[in-house]
Amino acid sequence: MALTISVKNLKSNGGIRRRIVTITLDAAYATPGYTITPANCKLKNKILYMSSPVMGIYLASVTLSGVNAILQMIVGAAGVNAEAADNLAGLEGKVGLFLVEGY
């Protein structure tokens, strides 16, 4: 996995830190998804929230797992949504803007 991640700090609120995180995907996608760590988002301990934007024809589905977030890519086909296939070339270069909160 070679995601490209850039982070912009926002004003903290009550110990909760907010970040605008830009993630550029690669085609090395593998089930169950990309793991995003607090360190990826310039946080120290835990991700509490991560938004789920639409990235082209893909929906970014975020699940919190312990201290990390799991980023799954969902693609719709004939009205049925399913997780993207492993190593899907269509994900290469897709960029998503995420709001991340944590500490």
CATH code for the domain in which residue 53 is found = 2.60.40
pLDDT tens digits for 20-78?
999 998 888 888 889 999 999 999 999 999 998 888 788 888 999 999 999 998 887 66
The answer to whether the CB of 38 falls within 8 A of the CB of 102 is: yes
The answer to whether the CB of 73 falls within 8 A of the CB of 25 is: yes
Domain assignment of residue 95, given as a range: 4-102
**Domain count along the chain:** 1
Question: Whole-prediction pTM value?
Answer: 0.86
C-alpha separations of 19 from 15, 43, 47, 55, 91 in Å: 13, 9, 10, 19, 23
Q: What is the DSSP letter of 45?
A: S
pLDDT of residue 1: 54
